[in-house]
Amino acid sequence: MPQQTRKAWAGRMAEPTDRLVEKFTTSFPFDQRLYAHDIAGSIAHCEMLAHQRIIPRAHAKRIVTGLRQIEAEFKTGKFRPSPADEDIHMAVERRLIEKVGGIGGKLHTARSRNDQVALDLRLFLRAEIRDIRELLTRLRHALATLATRHADVIVPGYTHLQPAQPVLFAHHCLAYAEMLWRDTGRFDDCLKRLDVLPLGSGALAGTTFPIDRRYVARRLGFRALSANSMDAVSDRDFAAEFLAACAILGMHLSRLAEDLVLWSSQEFGFVELPDAFATGSSIMPQKKNPDVAELVRGKTGRLYGNLLSLLTTLKGLPMTYNRDLQEDKEPVFDSVDTVKGSLDILSAMLPQLRVKRDRMRAAATAGFTLATELADYLATKGVPFRDAHGVVGAIVRYCLTERRTLEELTLPELRRFSPRFRADVKKWLSAAAAVRRRRAVGGTSPDNVRRQLRRHGA
Ligand code: ARG
């Protein structure tokens, strides 16, 4: 058997692995991304083995030195994989034995790749979630800054994409900040359940060696130990939760992206995208397209797909570890990259958005968005709201046939529809007044918006 294709488990086999099988089963091309976590886990494990006198301290020292050198090789791009490297774990072990000789083989005492890979993925996600949390905060700040800079700008608020009631542009921006705040909470929840050390579960049943799992947990910063080795080597709930959090975050970013696409359209004209964040057409010279926002929206599809992919892989797996679980990594890596990329580019683009406040203001009262004010006015004068609604509906119909706006109507005209209208009604008929009056907690009044801004650190 040629040396470079000899596997760690070759002792059992009468013939070498077929090249096709090597190619089909290897995870090294993608799971090498876990090298730093794999090595950190191995160092903690090795030091525990020495501490418990399971292996000699002198051997542990040489193993740890070797592992650090291997980490440096990865970091500097000098690591040379062999075709026999089935995965990151075998690659590191193979290289370790090349470096320190046969004693390198002691590292895998009281450990299996099954608990090792479960550990690596947890360490990886713990680090990535910390990054994603920071990017979420950055985007929330970008939204809050945009809101602060345009604190007095009023836009039409929509339901069914039909003009509904005027709102502060800041209120609209901060709606997204709320979504991102909930996303942060979802990643925090995910971190809580991720914070469990699976190492020490062995292949599935635990280990006969007198290991100290608490020692390893302390070294790696885990708060709890897995309580059931069979569950620990086959549990990927934490990865599914992570992908679910990414999918929901993606849905939020997609909605924000959709607003940017709409707002930058000719028809809305509420914002202009910075040239540096827009793209042109290869045929139509006049075009300025919102491709960044469209891609953020489009990438949500893969975030959903990654979640579904992992859930499908997990369903129906018999206890305990099955190689199917190797399929957990690519969706996780892809969601990490996708979410980080989208958060990053939105945080960079939003501060450069040109807000066309005049367009927004003009649109804010178009389409009879002050009709609710008239109905509210009548209700404060004692008219049952349901009746007031009917009266104002008739007024809108009148305006449509007469080609008038609500604001233009004279008091005598209004009084034809209800004798309860008085001169003070005029004060109600402005977008600014409509916004100011929505003072109940959570509404679009400037006071509430200021409170929200504080929530999001602006
Ligand atoms: N590459 C494998 C994975 O990602 C590592 C664990 C392999 N374990 C095994 N018993 N074949 O799941």
Cα separations (Å) of 195 from 100, 118, 119, 125, 189?
33, 12, 10, 10, 10
Q: Which residues pair with 163 in a beta bridge?
A: 158
Mean per-residue pLDDT for 336-342?
98
State yes or no: is 108 an active-site residue.
no
Q: Which residues pair with 158 in a beta bridge?
A: 163
Pocket test for ligand 1, best of 88, 93, 117, 234 (most atoms within 8 A of CB): 117
- Going by alpha carbons, the residue nearest to atom 2 of ligand 1 is 326
The values of phi and psi at residue 224, to 5°, are -135, 160
Mean per-residue pLDDT for 327-338?
98
- Going by alpha carbons, the residue nearest to atom 12 of ligand 1 is 326
Distance (angstroms) between ligand 1 centre and the Cα of 99 equals: 23
State yes or no: is 160 an active-site residue.
yes
Question: pLDDT at residue 1 above 80?
Answer: no
What is the spatial distance between Cα 444 and Cα 155, in angstroms, rounded to a whole number?
Answer: 11
- Going by alpha carbons, the residue nearest to atom 11 of ligand 1 is 323
Question: pLDDT at residue 4 above 50?
Answer: no
Confirm or reject: Cβ of 114 under 6 Å from ligand 1: yes
Catalytic residue among 229, 281, 445, 456: 281
- What confidence tier does 458 reach under pLDDT thresholds 50, 70, 90? confident
Model pLDDT, residue 277: 93
Q: Lowest mean pLDDT: which of 14-23, 353-362, 433-442?
A: 14-23
Distance (angstroms) between ligand 1 centre and the Cα of 114 equals: 6
Q: Residue written as tokens 């450990």?
A: 111
For the entire predicted model, the pTM comes to 0.95
Other Cβ atoms closer than 10 A to 24: 8
Contact status, residue 262 vs residue 254, Cβ threshold 8 Å: no
| End-to-end Cα spacing for the chain | 66
Q: Which residue has the higher pLDDT, 134 or 17?
A: 134
Distance (angstroms) between ligand 1 centre and the Cα of 147 equals: 49
**The ligand 1 atom nearest the CA atom of 89:** 5
Pocket test for ligand 1, best of 7, 87, 89, 234 (most atoms within 8 A of CB): 87
**The ligand 1 atom nearest the CA atom of 87:** 1
Q: Residue written as tokens 């990259």?
A: 337
What is the spatial distance between Cα 24 and Cα 31, in angstroms, rounded to a whole number?
Answer: 14
- What confidence tier does 317 reach under pLDDT thresholds 50, 70, 90? very high
pLDDT in tens, 238-251: 999 999 999 999 99
- What confidence tier does 2 reach under pLDDT thresholds 50, 70, 90? very low
- Going by alpha carbons, the residue nearest to atom 3 of ligand 1 is 326
pLDDT in tens, 425-450: 999 999 999 999 999 999 999 999 99
From 299, 307, 321, select the one nearest 232 (Cα to Cα): 321
Mean per-residue pLDDT for 314-328?
98
**The ligand 1 atom nearest the CA atom of 86:** 1
Mean per-residue pLDDT for 73-81?
98
Contact status, residue 72 vs residue 240, Cβ threshold 8 Å: no
Mean per-residue pLDDT for 370-392?
97
**The ligand 1 atom nearest the CA atom of 325:** 12
Report the mean per-residue pLDDT for the chain.
Answer: 96
Mean per-residue pLDDT for 151-180?
97
Identity of the amino acid at 148: T
Confirm or reject: Cβ of 326 under 6 Å from ligand 1: yes
**The ligand 1 atom nearest the CA atom of 321:** 10
Catalytic residue among 59, 160, 234, 265: 160
CA 164 vs. chain centroid, Å, equals: 30
Distance (angstroms) between ligand 1 centre and the Cα of 283 equals: 50
Mean per-residue pLDDT for 380-399?
97
